[in-house]
Amino acid sequence: MTVPESVLIRLKDAVGAKGFSTDPAEIAPHLEEWRGKYHGHSPLLLKPASAAEVSAVLRICHETGTHVVPQGGNTGLVGGQIPFNGEVLLSTKRLNKVRAVDESGMTLTAEAGVTLAEIQHEAAERYLLFPLSLASEGSCSIGGNIATNAGGTHVLRYGMTRALVLGLEVVLPDGTVLEMLRALHKDNSGYDLKQVFIGSEGTLGIITAATLRLFPKPDASVTALAAVPSPDAAVKLLGAMQSQTGGLLSAFELIPRIALEFVTRHIDGTRDPLDTPSPWYVLIEATGGRHATLEASFEDALAAAVSSGLVSDAVVASSATQGAALWKLRESISEAQKREGASIKHDIAVPVAAIPAFLAKATPAVRAAAPGARPVSFGHLGDGNIHFNFNSPAPGDDSSFLALWDEVQQVVHDIVKEFGGSISAEHGIGVMKRDSLPRYKSHEELDAMRALKAAFDPRNILNPGKMIPPVLRL
């Protein structure tokens, strides 16, 4: 679309001299997502510093039919934050204040542009915990985390972002400000409207602030890397560790041998902590209070797993530094994959018990469609979310390999559906999966989604073309 100059002038006036940019060099980093798969263009970057300024912008856009794409830290992986058709781009980075922390009530209220790492730090300063944890936490924003219902490594213990939000401040497409920043753990006074906006990918309203749920900071933490012979053994180990630690596991991450090789090859300061290679590993973390017999029960459970053959070897971190080194192996996989060459990625979820059977069926199916593809299946086994990724067969094959993306994706997603799973566990739909969504969701579900979009955004100005597939019925 082409935005009239008269509208651009009004939008600039709404946010003031510090609140916009037309400099191509400043706008450019906002137009490409991290993996380089999506590129966009925009005539104007808006940087509002308050909900009132966001409201003024959206009133103008609603009146003039101007499309606007909201963006947080630009760490999304499905293209949901990219302006593809010359839309105005609205960044929340100047909405960057922590408004309040209630230590006794264990809540924190922050604006949308505050980074996840800053939220974690503010909580930790008060010996509290905000448990959402992502590899991009230094740059992703809490507003973006909420808009995409981010997952991360601690969903097993604390749930998705949806479970961590008590209240929201949201600006609707017509500029109306919904003030719902309630710090209540119980509130049955009508529809829970905040849930409509969590995971809506900026298509229904722009989140400008949130009240978040905090937790007591654990006094004790135990981290281990265990070698297992198979995904089936990993699932059995999950059950055993959960049972024997009294449900204190906070993370349980599956790692294939190839991922560990990629990381130690490409990421400085990493090494294989075990003497003998194993086809699979799990990174396990448990947390609890200082008086809990956490370490003993954790190590007893691991020892029992070794005796039963579920685990062939394991290393338990003896210090926070060693624990961080084990976590670095897991958190560096995506970066290592990027350095290894092109990859086709899937963010899927199936029931935990079905993960071994899914991997056994889907891996050869992808290799049949893309001969030589190297499977790198890793992630949050504890909650059923696997990053089912494949790297190109060898350096130099990138373009021909990436040309198979759509074909491979459909192969994978069809098998996910067979197992009663989801084609998007935590990354969202964006544009990447929008057009395939009707293949995996019912007409009734999609019609309900379209009805919500029409009710909140009848002029379709907010993040148009994202998440909601067009009606294509025969």
Q: Can you give the residue ranges of every domain in the chain?
A: 5-91, 98-216, 220-333, 341-418
Q: Which CATH fold topology does 98-216 show?
A: 3.30.465
Please name the residues in contact with 470: beta carbons below 8 A apart, sequence gap of 6 or more.
none
Q: Which residue shows structure tokens 């309900």? A: 448
Identify residue 267 by its one-letter amino acid code. Answer: I
Identify residue 45 by its one-letter amino acid code. Answer: L
Measure CA of the first residue to CA of the last residue in the chain; give whole Å: 29
Contact 98, 109 (CB under 8 A): yes
Q: What top-level class would CATH report for the domain 5-91?
A: alpha beta
Asked if the 341-418 domain carries CATH number 3.30.70.2740, the reply is yes
Contact 366, 373 (CB under 8 A): yes
Contact 305, 237 (CB under 8 A): yes
> Encoding tokens for residue 389?
């990724």
Rounded to an integer, what distance in angstroms lies between the CA atom of residue 148 and that of residue 328?
24
Of 79, 135, 148, nearest in space to 425 by CA: 148
pLDDT of residue 319: 95
Rounded to an integer, what distance in angstroms lies between the CA atom of residue 129 and that of residue 133?
11
3-state secondary structure of 136: coil
Rounded to an integer, what distance in angstroms lies between the CA atom of residue 108 and that of residue 410?
41
Q: What angle, 0 to 180 degrees and rounded to 10, lies between the N-to-C axes of helices 355-369 and 231-244?
A: 150
pLDDT of residue 34: 81
pTM of the model: 0.93
Element (H, E) at 168: strand 165-171
pLDDT of residue 473: 52
How distant is the alpha carbon of residue 401 from its chain centre? 25
Q: Side-chain half-sphere of 28: how many Cα atoms within 13 Å?
A: 4
Taking 3-state DSSP, the helix, strand and coil percentages for the chain, each rounded to the nearest 5, stand at: 40, 20, 40
pLDDT digit string, tens, across residues 350-404? 999 999 999 999 999 999 999 999 999 999 999 999 999 999 998 777 889 999 9
Q: Do domains 5-91 and 220-333 have the same CATH topology?
A: no
Q: Compute mean pLDDT per 10 residues along the chain, 474 residues long, and list them.
A: 95 98 97 89 98 98 98 95 97 98 97 98 97 94 98 96 98 98 95 97 98 95 97 97 92 98 97 97 91 81 95 96 97 94 95 98 98 97 97 86 96 98 96 95 96 97 96 58
pLDDT digit string, tens, across residues 117-132? 999 999 999 999 999 9
Please name the residues in contact with 344: beta carbons below 8 A apart, sequence gap of 6 or more.
370, 373, 389, 390, 401, 402, 404, 405, 408, 409
Asked if the 220-333 domain carries CATH number 3.30.70.2190, the reply is yes
Phi, psi of 306 (to 5 degrees): -65, -45
Rounded to an integer, what distance in angstroms lies between the CA atom of residue 327 and that of residue 312?
20
User: Burial, 381: exposed, middle or buried (Cβ in 10 Å; 0-12, 13-18, 19+)?
Assistant: buried
